[in-house]
Amino acid sequence: MSETKTLLILPGDGIGPEVMSEVLRVIEWLARHRGVTFEVGQGLVGGASIDAQGTPLAEETMARAMAADAVLLGAVGGPKWEALPFEQKPERGLLRLRKEMALFANLRPAPVFDALVDASPLKPEIVRGLDIVIVRELTGGVYFGEPRGISDLPGGGRRGVNTQVYTTEEIVRIARVAFQLAAKRHRRLCSVEKSNVMESGVLWRQEVQALHDAEFADIELSHMYADNCAMQLIRDPRQFDVIVTDNLFGDMLSDEAAMLTGSLGMLPSASLGEADADGRRRALYEPVHGSAPDIAGRGVANPLASLLSFAMCLRWSFDLAAEADLIEAAVKGVLDGGMRTADIMQPGKARVSTRVMGESILRELDKLTA
Ligand code: NAD
């Protein structure tokens, strides 16, 4: 790398610090064995920040996140802070990061590892080898559109309104991320909306098609209605490579895709902002799971979702595809070798702690690079 990249780690609450310590050990391994270094800083977010500084995200931490090349977050929240008013809850820290960093593209891979194929609620023959990514628009659409609100009706009763709205610019920038991702994968993109009943869907389909024809004609593009996509994800999920969709449909379809894998402790995510003139994007990487208060402090959490999020960070923010491949291969190797944390335990396998899982990853990395 020509200049030192900066990574801000925000472990957060519950199992966040436990899983993030295993990521830190992999970062040390990369420095020692691959000569890959970046400037790593740490900060507080969520309940940990409330306890130490009275706010879910201090100004100074926000500023460091804005300046960093990437932010890696553990998880926030827990019963200790549940009674706080909405504006002071741990989750506000994460929401503020997403908003101020203007993270409009949410990437949610749903890989099914061969060793965990039985964890899926679907039959092995339907999910074996599954490797899809859902790209969800994160800052527009019906969750933010105006007008919105609840009003009283003159004749009694009330009226609730939300507005689904997308502009050309919003559609094109999310579609571009999805085409670029497809270009690094199996070169197939499926764009999902409901243009049969929604004008915003008609515009979505037209803009995605126009961008394809102008800039990404070498990527295979298909269009699908969101309700059909929900069915196809269950019927034959392997037909998909990358799916791009809006905020609302993406919210649901990415959770549906996550369930296909059957293991919450394995799922990474990335949220990306606009590229600047140098091609640098603000980016936040985090496991899909929460702070798991029911197992926090017991040293049994699965650190693999966080490690896979870090691998996404290496690929997207640091341009270190070989190192990202290495970490993903180590995860696969450790699972093939029979190591399991409690959440993915199967008969006949070895149940290991967070720490031992982390150590197994380091040993596998040694093996892969010997
Ligand atoms: P959760 O994801 O924390 O836990 C759901 C279940 O999965 C629990 O039984 C938990 O033990 C298990 N689990 C989750 N991650 C695991 C891992 N890595 N290894 C082993 N088991 C794991 O969801 P929840 O229980 O609904 O929420 C708990 C808290 O987390 C709440 O305060 C919620 O607001 C917060 N939360 C935060 C985020 C985030 O930080 N992005 C996301 C979801 C929930």
- Cβ of 288 less than 6 Å from ligand 1: no
User: pLDDT for 305-342, tens place per residue?
Assistant: 999 999 999 999 999 999 999 999 999 999 999 999 99
Q: Which of 263, 288, 322 is the last residue of a domain?
A: 263
> Is it the case that residue 58 has pLDDT exceeding 50?
yes
Q: For this structure, is 143 an active site residue? A: yes
Q: Give the torsion sign (CA, 80, 84, 87, 88).
A: negative
Which residue segment(s) compose the domain that 191 sits in?
A: 112-263
pLDDT at 225: 98
**Cα(290) to centroid(ligand 1), Å:** 3
Q: What order do you get walking across the sheet with 220-225 strand by strand?
A: 39-42, 6-12, 70-75, 281-287, 268-275, 105-111, 131-137, 242-245, 188-193, 220-225
Q: Give the torsion sign (CA, 318, 324, 327, 332).
A: positive
Phi, psi of 13 (to 5 degrees): -120, 170
The reply to whether 318 and 204 lie within a common domain is: no
Q: pLDDT band for position 276 (50/70/90)? A: confident
pLDDT at 262: 83
> Is it the case that residue 153 has pLDDT exceeding 50?
yes
Q: How many domains does the chain have?
A: 2
Q: For this structure, is 367 an active site residue? A: no
Residues 6+ apart with CB under 8 A from 333: 364, 367, 368
Q: For this structure, is 251 an active site residue? A: yes
pLDDT at 162: 95
Nearest CA, atom 22, ligand 1: 265
Rg (CA), the chain: 21
Q: For this structure, is 285 an active site residue? A: no
The reply to whether 292 and 257 lie within a common domain is: no
Q: Kindly report whether the global pTM for this prediction surpasses the value 0.85.
A: yes
User: pLDDT for 68-77, tens place per residue?
Assistant: 999 999 999 9
Q: How far is CA 323 from the centre of its chain?
A: 19
Q: Which of 197, 229, 263 is the last residue of a domain?
A: 263
Q: Quick one: which H or E segment has residue 165?
A: none
pLDDT at 86: 84
Asked whether the beta carbons of 74 and 46 are under 8 A apart, the reply is: no
Q: How high does pLDDT run on average in the chain? A: 96
Q: Is residue 165 part of a domain?
A: yes
**Cα(304) to centroid(ligand 1), Å:** 14
**Cα(275) to centroid(ligand 1), Å:** 31
Among 64, 90, 71, 98, CA closest to 10: 71
Residues 6+ apart with CB under 8 A from 305: 19, 264, 265, 266, 267, 268, 287, 288, 289
Q: pLDDT band for position 65 (50/70/90)? A: very high
- CA pair distance 214, 209, nearest whole angstrom: 9
Rounded to a whole number of angstroms, the distance between the first and last alpha carbons of the chain is 23
User: pLDDT for 250-269, tens place per residue?
Assistant: 999 999 999 999 888 999 99
The reply to whether 123 and 211 lie within a common domain is: yes
Candidate list 143, 225, 325, 349, residue with the active-site label: 143
> Is it the case that residue 2 has pLDDT exceeding 70?
no
Q: Quick one: which H or E segment has residue 244?
A: strand 242-245
The reply to whether 92 and 146 lie within a common domain is: no
The reply to whether 173 and 38 lie within a common domain is: no
Ligand 1 atom closest to residue 15's alpha carbon, by position in its atom list: 18
Inter-CA distances, 310 with 20, 79, 352, Å: 10, 27, 21
The reply to whether 251 and 279 lie within a common domain is: no
User: What is the domain-level CATH number for residue 248?
Assistant: 3.40.718.10
Residues 6+ apart with CB under 8 A from 137: 104, 105, 106, 166, 170, 171, 174, 244, 245, 246, 247, 250
The reply to whether 90 and 116 lie within a common domain is: no
- Cβ of 344 less than 6 Å from ligand 1: no
pLDDT at 263: 86
Higher pLDDT, 127 or 262: 127
Q: Is residue 316 part of a domain?
A: yes
The reply to whether 65 and 152 lie within a common domain is: no
pLDDT at 98: 92
Candidate list 51, 227, 236, 319, residue with the active-site label: 227
The reply to whether 133 and 213 lie within a common domain is: yes
> Is it the case that residue 1 has pLDDT exceeding 60?
no
Q: Is residue 161 part of a domain?
A: yes
Q: Is residue 65 part of a domain?
A: yes
- CA pair distance 113, 131, nearest whole angstrom: 9
Q: Give the torsion sign (CA, 187, 193, 196, 201).
A: negative
Q: Is residue 268 part of a domain?
A: no
Q: Which of 263, 284, 309 is the last residue of a domain?
A: 263
User: pLDDT for 176-204, tens place per residue?
Assistant: 999 999 999 999 999 999 999 999 999 99
Q: Is residue 153 part of a domain?
A: yes
The reply to whether 213 and 86 lie within a common domain is: no
Q: Is residue 257 part of a domain?
A: yes
Q: Is residue 156 part of a domain?
A: yes
pLDDT at 295: 97
The reply to whether 221 and 363 lie within a common domain is: no
pLDDT at 141: 95
Most ligand 1 atoms within 8 A of CB, residue of 289, 294, 345, 354 to mutate = 289
Ligand 1 atom closest to residue 301's alpha carbon, by position in its atom list: 19
Nearest CA, atom 36, ligand 1: 290
Lookup result for tokens 């298909």 = 222
Q: For this structure, is 343 an active site residue? A: no
The reply to whether 242 and 310 lie within a common domain is: no
